[in-house]
């Protein structure tokens, strides 16, 4: 196959995207969020045993955590040839960069305009919120978004050939196996049918059949994986048992300015403009599909049924695709105007504007992401625990440090950021706050005994959060300061006898 | 002629296939028997013990349940007690009647002129449904009445009144609780078909019901009720959530789709809707209503599957994938449920601990445990229990239950001793399930804390699964 100009452009954009991502990813040997370490532990376990670790003996000092494991399996496959840390740094970034190809395909399918498609390929590589969440994190969004876009593409092509049906079924299955967030697609498709009905456009029977299949697959698979959680929380499973005190940090009101910045100014404005144009003035089934998906995300965000960050990633992806239609319309308009001979110049300027307005937030987000990685002092402290404590020790750290304790120290934690199926979560958080802030030794020892805690980590972040420099009840009778190098580690020695 | 013959062959083989399929799913007792396991569940042990009691002498007193209680004669026990090897019949009778019930159900559906392949589908869904598997593998008071009701309907559809009259007359003797349901079915049947014989059937059902009630239960009033369900409703309604008498989640989803599909012909389904919703309401209060509701949910599920098969699919591949998914979804729940029954308690370890308790003293000392363990203790240890699962007409039900709760959760040694003395409790039998959520959630909670007092309690049996404590006073 001969490489055409647009192929070369796409490859260059892909390489540029990977280079950009890896440049920031390798600024630090660590990852930006604690959840990355949970994924890496799972990858490591899968590599060794072939199975995911659903009954985790370390998290919460032993718990059951259901999750969909496809992403971890993909990484485990690469872990067969590459070291775990390298897999975590490189593979998610490569996967996330594949969004370029699928965005190109979708926009070309909708607009039949190659320039618009290449422009969107470039824009999709730099969706600020998507970059922030995937550049230095082992996040399943790296694979969820490309798969989701492939599903949209194959849905648009379903009538053309049987091979697209097969590919569509494969992609749907992969997405169901990767993330429960598939529900966004299901809801979007339902909106799509409603929109077609209100606009009196007939829908294709095959699309309905796909929804039926997807619905059954999603229900069955998620029911198998999450049945315990479903029984415990019912529809409340949406909020993943996030403690009341933290719920507002995951699900919060839509902040327009933040959303515009996170999605990219140009995609946000012109994406919404396209939605307006096609809902009220023109008719196009493909645009309706993207509009429905964007609307479903928007409604879920508005009702606080979707975590804000996840919602913005989806919204950003759909609005970028809709921007493709605007670019096509823009080019057509210029070509019909008296500036038709300057079309390339206007196109270039417009692309430059998009690129700059997206690239700047991407760079700032990436730098911020690198800064959020744990410090070397923290990792050294965790390493100290690994080599100087008993295998069965329970270590207390903050919520964000939980997965670091299990990954680096290989010790039991008291809390981490996966709250599902933890029955006493709303009690645990105030208890932990109390351990760090109380001035009474008996209160602290009572709680330390309650959770069988042997070691307490006092990191810089924890000190800042609780505005402390030391444990107020610390004395040498009941505590032993075993490590003190910016991060402090205390050993708990006393037990309270029952009355 | 040749065509007729092949049709008849298909019919013959489809019945054979259904029966083999049913046999596979009902083979739990057989598999347990060959792997030297005890009978699954707890209820069979009650029927076994009472039948063995009646085998020796007809009595109206059970001296083990609730530390001694009146016994009201039931035809199940009377029939069982006439055999020499009662255990064998308790083990295999449900299975036999399960096969017969599926066969009759097939015939009933057949008489409505439903296509053979659809009939087969309905029967296969029925045979693999968790509720059906439970009803016809674990001895209970419902499998025979179901068979009798199906047999009645089968003969009613053939305008034969004698067999239904006999069956309905026998029904209250097997389970009087089902009389209102049988009356509802009769009423609906005659409203729909407007046939003769309504009075005869009502009379035969009512006559034995009244006679039985006045002879056996008179002058008792209605039983004292106590809601012992501590889990959310869904955990009693959906088998995948752990219910013994629950529906598979996938079947429920199909049932809802089937119900939606049926709504287009709602007039034809009116009576089915009435029965289904009555049973649905009843199942909220009586889990065992699910046994009957199951037949209707199966019908709606089958309707959903048939609609899917008959749908004009544009994408053949998606059709195949969807049907495969539905089949896998249904089978997955059934197989995992089947597996659960295979591993169902009592385990050999549990039984050994109870037998050990029996040998510890020859006296009829009272044993305290979670009420669901009562039948095992009564059967294997031959000792009376403070509580068991058979709560109807139990003496002092509420007081006993409250006292048991107070004993389980109190950390006051004095008040616990007082209650143990009041109810003459000598042994406390604790298994792993009780310690991990069924009764206690934490170590050293309530009684678990008090058991550390060596002057009051002595640990006489300790294994990974069970602890037996003797109360020393």
> In the predicted model, is pLDDT for residue A302 greater than 90?
no
A206 to chain B: closest CA residue: B314
Smallest Cβ distance to B314: which of A169, A209, A213? A209
- Contact: A227, B235; criterion CB under 8 Å: no
Count residue pairs from A and B with Cβ separation < 8 A.
Answer: 63
Sorting pLDDT into bands at 50, 70 and 90, what band is A499? very low
Nearest CA distance, B322 vs chain A (angstrom): 5
Sorting pLDDT into bands at 50, 70 and 90, what band is B218? low
Q: Measured between alpha carbons, how far is residue A400 from residues A36, A404, A455, A459, B454 in Å?
A: 11, 8, 17, 11, 45
Establish if B31 touches chain A: CB-CB under 8 angstroms.
no
Q: Is the dihedral of CA A85, A87, A90, A96 positive or negative?
A: negative
Establish if A217 touches chain B: CB-CB under 8 angstroms.
yes
Residues B97-120 have a mean pLDDT of 91
Confidence at residue A82, expressed as pLDDT on a 0 to 100 scale? 94
- Contact: A210, B240; criterion CB under 8 Å: no
Question: Which residues from chain A sit within 8 angstroms of residue B317, using beta carbons?
Answer: 162, 165-166, 169
Sorting pLDDT into bands at 50, 70 and 90, what band is B419? very high
| pLDDT greater at residue A111 or residue A282 | A111
Establish if B330 touches chain A: CB-CB under 8 angstroms.
no
Confidence at residue B139, expressed as pLDDT on a 0 to 100 scale? 94
Percent of chain A with pLDDT over 70: 98
Confidence at residue B144, expressed as pLDDT on a 0 to 100 scale? 94
Residues A275-303 have a mean pLDDT of 86
Nearest CA distance, A50 vs chain B (angstrom): 22
Establish if A219 touches chain B: CB-CB under 8 angstroms.
yes
Residues A414-442 have a mean pLDDT of 90
Range in A195-199, A385-389, B421-425 with the lowest mean pLDDT? A195-199
User: For residues B186 and B272, is the Cβ–Cβ distance under 8 A?
Assistant: no
Confidence at residue A19, expressed as pLDDT on a 0 to 100 scale? 96
Range in A98-107, A123-132, B61-70 with the lowest mean pLDDT? B61-70
Residues A31-43 have a mean pLDDT of 94
Nearest CA distance, B421 vs chain A (angstrom): 25
Confidence at residue B234, expressed as pLDDT on a 0 to 100 scale? 73
Give the pLDDT confidence of B340-389 residue by residue, as tens digits.
Answer: 899 898 999 999 999 998 888 777 789 999 999 999 999 999 999 998 98
Residues A66-85 have a mean pLDDT of 94
Smallest Cβ distance to A206: which of B315, B321, B328? B315
> In the predicted model, is pLDDT for residue A101 greater than 70?
yes
Give the pLDDT confidence of B110-144 residue by residue, as tens digits.
Answer: 888 888 888 899 999 999 999 999 999 999 999 99
A423 to chain B: closest CA residue: B441
Smallest Cβ distance to A216: which of B314, B325, B449? B325
Establish if A177 touches chain B: CB-CB under 8 angstroms.
no
Question: Which residues from chain A sit within 8 angstroms of residue B230, using beta carbons?
Answer: none
> In the predicted model, is pLDDT for residue A42 greater than 70?
yes
Q: What is the mean pLDDT of chain B?
A: 87
> In the predicted model, is pLDDT for residue B227 greater than 80?
no
- Contact: B240, A213; criterion CB under 8 Å: no
Instruction: Report ipTM for this prediction.
Output: 0.75
Residues B145-168 have a mean pLDDT of 92
User: For residues A408 and A489, is the Cβ–Cβ distance under 8 A?
Assistant: no
Question: Which residues from chain B sit within 8 angstroms of residue A206, using beta carbons?
Answer: 314-315, 318
Question: Which residues from chain B sit within 8 angstroms of residue A205, using beta carbons?
Answer: 312-314
Give the pLDDT confidence of B179-199 residue by residue, as tens digits.
Answer: 888 998 888 888 887 778 888
Confidence at residue A128, expressed as pLDDT on a 0 to 100 scale? 93
Q: What is the mean pLDDT of chain A?
A: 89
> In the predicted model, is pLDDT for residue A343 greater than 70?
yes
Smallest Cβ distance to B329: which of A204, A212, A220? A220
- Contact: A231, B235; criterion CB under 8 Å: yes
HEC sequence for chain A? CCCCHHHHHHHHHHHHHHHHHHHHHCCCCCCCCHHHHHHHHHHHHHHHHCCCCCEECCHHHCEECCCCCHHHHHHHHHCCCCCHHHHHHHHHHHHHHCHHHHHHHHHHHHHCCHHHHHHHHHHHHCCHHHHHHHCCCCCCHHHHHHHHHHHHHHHHHCCCCHHHHHHHHHHHHHHHHHCHHHHHHHHHHHHHHHHHHHCCCCCCHHHHHHHHHHHHHHHHHHHHHHHHHHHHHHHHHHHCCCCHHHHHHHCCCCCHHHHHHHHCHHHHHHHHHHHHHHHHCCCCHHHHHHHHHHHHHHHHHHCCCCCHHHHHHHHHHHHHHHHHHHHHHHHHHHHHCCCHHHHHHHHHHHHHHHHHHHHHHHHHHHHHHHHCCCCHHHHHHHHHHHHHCCCCCEEECCHHHHHHHHHHHCCEECCCCCCCCCCCHHHHHHHHHHHHHCCCHHHHHHHHHHCCCCEEEECHHHHHHHCCCCCCCCCCCCEEEEEEECEEEEEECCCCCCC
- Contact: B319, A224; criterion CB under 8 Å: no
- Contact: A206, B318; criterion CB under 8 Å: yes
Residues B289-307 have a mean pLDDT of 92
> In the predicted model, is pLDDT for residue B224 greater than 70?
no
- How many C-beta atoms surround the C-beta of residue A113 within 10 A? 19
Smallest Cβ distance to A166: which of B313, B317, B329? B317
Full strand arrangement of the beta sheet holding A479-485: A412-413, A394-396, A455-458, A487-492, A479-485
Residues A77-101 have a mean pLDDT of 95
Smallest Cβ distance to B325: which of A162, A217, A234? A217
Give residues with Cβ within 8 angstroms of A303, minimum separation 6.
none
Q: Taking a contact as any Cβ pair under 8 Å apart, which residues of chain B between 215 and 274 contact chain A?
A: 232, 234-235, 238, 240-242, 249-250, 253
Smallest Cβ distance to B318: which of A210, A223, A227? A210
Range in A126-135, A179-188, B224-233 with the lowest mean pLDDT? B224-233
Q: What CA–CA distance (Å, rounded) separates A70 from B464?
A: 36
């Amino acid at each position: 196959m001969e490489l055409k100009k647009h192929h070369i452009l796409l490859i260059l954009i892909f390489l540029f995207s990977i280079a950009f991502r890896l440049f920031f990813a390798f600024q630090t040997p660590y990852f930006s969020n604690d959840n990355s370490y949970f994924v890496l532990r799972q990858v490591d376990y899968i590599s060794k045993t072939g199975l995911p670790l659903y009954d985790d003996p370390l998290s919460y000092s032993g718990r059951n955590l259901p999750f969909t494991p496809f992403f971890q399996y993909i990484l485990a496959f690469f872990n067969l040839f590459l070291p775990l840390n390298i897999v975590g740094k490189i593979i998610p970034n490569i996967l996330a960069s594949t969004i370029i190809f699928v965005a190109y395909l979708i926009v070309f399918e909708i607009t039949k305009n190659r320039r618009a498609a290449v422009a969107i390929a470039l824009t999709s590589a730099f969706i600020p919120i998507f970059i922030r969440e995937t550049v230095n994190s082992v996040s399943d969004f790296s694979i969820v978004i490309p798969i989701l876009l492939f599903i949209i593409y194959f849905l648009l092509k379903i009538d053309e050939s049987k091979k697209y049906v097969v590919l569509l079924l494969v992609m749907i299955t992969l997405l169901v196996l990767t993330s429960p967030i598939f529900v966004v697609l299901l809801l979007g498709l339902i909106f799509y049918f409603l929109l077609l009905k209100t606009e009196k456009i007939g829908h294709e029977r095959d699309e309905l059949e796909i929804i039926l299949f997807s619905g059954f697959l999603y229900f069955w698979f998620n029911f198998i994986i999450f049945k315990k959680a479903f029984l415990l929380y019912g529809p409340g499973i949406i909020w993943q048992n996030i403690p009341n005190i933290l719920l507002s940090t995951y699900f919060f009101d839509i902040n327009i300015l933040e959303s515009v910045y996170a999605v990219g100014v140009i995609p946000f404005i012109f994406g919404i403009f396209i939605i307006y144009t096609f809902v009220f003035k023109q008719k196009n089934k493909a645009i309706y599909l993207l509009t429905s998906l964007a609307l479903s995300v928007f409604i879920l965000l508005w009702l606080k049924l979707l975590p804000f960050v996840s919602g913005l990633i989806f919204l950003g992806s759909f609005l970028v695709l809709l921007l493709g239609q605007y670019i096509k319309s823009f080019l057509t308009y210029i070509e019909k105007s008296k500036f038709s001979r300057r079309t390339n110049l206007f196109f270039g300027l417009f692309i430059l504007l998009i690129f700059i307005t997206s690239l700047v937030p991407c760079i700032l987000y990436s730098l911020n992401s690198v800064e959020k990685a744990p410090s070397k002092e923290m990792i050294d402290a965790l390493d100290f625990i690994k080599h100087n404590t008993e295998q069965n020790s329970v270590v207390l750290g903050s919520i964000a440090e939980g997965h670091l304790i299990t990954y680096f120290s290989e010790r039991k934690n008291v809390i981490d950021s996966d709250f599902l199926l933890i029955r006493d979560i709303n009690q645990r958080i105030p208890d932990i706050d109390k351990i760090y802030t109380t001035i009474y030794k008996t209160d602290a020892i009572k709680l330390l005994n309650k959770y069988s805690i042997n070691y307490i980590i006092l990191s810089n972040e924890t000190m800042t959060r609780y505005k402390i420099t030391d444990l107020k009840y610390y004395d040498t009778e009941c505590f032993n300061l075993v490590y003190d190098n910016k991060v402090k580690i205390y050993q708990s020695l006393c037990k309270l006898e029952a009355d | 002629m040749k065509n007729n013959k092949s049709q008849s062959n298909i019919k013959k083989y489809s019945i054979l296939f259904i029966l083999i399929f049913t046999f596979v799913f009902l083979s739990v007792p057989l598999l347990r028997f060959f792997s030297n396991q005890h009978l699954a569940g707890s209820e069979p042990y009650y029927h076994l013990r009472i039948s063995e009691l009646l085998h020796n002498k007809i009595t109206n007193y059970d001296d083990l349940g609730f530390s001694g209680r009146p016994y009201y004669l039931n035809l199940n026990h009377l029939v069982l007690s006439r055999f020499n090897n009662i255990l064998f019949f308790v083990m295999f009778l449900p299975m036999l009647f399960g096969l017969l019930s599926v066969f009759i159900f097939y015939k009933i559906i057949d008489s409505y002129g439903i296509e053979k392949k659809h009939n087969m589908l309905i029967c296969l869904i029925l045979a693999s449904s968790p509720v059906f598997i439970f009803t016809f593998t674990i001895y209970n008071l419902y499998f025979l009445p179901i068979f009798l009701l199906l047999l009645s309907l089968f003969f009613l559809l053939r305008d034969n009144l004698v067999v239904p009259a006999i069956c309905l007359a026998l029904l209250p003797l097997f389970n009087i609780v089902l009389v209102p349901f049988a009356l509802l079915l009769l009423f609906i049947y005659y409203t729909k078909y407007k046939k003769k014989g309504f009075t005869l059937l009502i009379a035969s059902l009512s006559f034995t019901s009244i006679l039985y009630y006045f002879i056996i239960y008179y002058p008792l009033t209605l039983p004292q009720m106590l809601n012992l369900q501590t889990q959310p409703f869904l955990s009693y309604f959906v088998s995948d959530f752990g219910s013994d008498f629950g529906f598979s989640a996938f079947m429920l989803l199909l049932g809802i789709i089937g119900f939606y599909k049926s709504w287009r012909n709602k007039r034809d389904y009116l009576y089915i809707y009435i029965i289904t919703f009555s049973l649905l309401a009843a199942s909220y209060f009586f889990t065992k209503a699910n046994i009957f509701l199951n037949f209707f949910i199966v019908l709606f599920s089958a309707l959903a599957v048939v609609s899917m098969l008959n749908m004009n699919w544009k994408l053949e591949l998606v059709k195949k994938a969807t049907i495969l998914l539905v089949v896998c979804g249904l089978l997955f729940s059934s197989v995992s449920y089947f597996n659960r029954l295979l591993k169902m308690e009592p385990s050999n370890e549990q039984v050994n601990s109870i037998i050990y308790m029996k040998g510890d003293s020859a006296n009829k000392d009272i044993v305290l445990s979670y009420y669901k363990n009562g039948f095992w203790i009564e059967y294997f240890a031959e000792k009376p229990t403070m509580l068991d699962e058979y709560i109807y007409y139990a003496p002092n039900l509420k007081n006993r239950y409250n006292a048991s709760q107070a004993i389980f959760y109190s950390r006051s040694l004095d008040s616990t001793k007082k209650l143990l003395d009041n109810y003459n409790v000598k042994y406390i039998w604790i298994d792993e399930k009780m310690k991990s959520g069924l009764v206690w959630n934490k170590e050293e909670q309530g009684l678990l804390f008090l058991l550390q007092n060596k002057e009051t309690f002595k640990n006489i049996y300790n294994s990974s699964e069970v602890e037996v404590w003797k109360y020393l006073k």
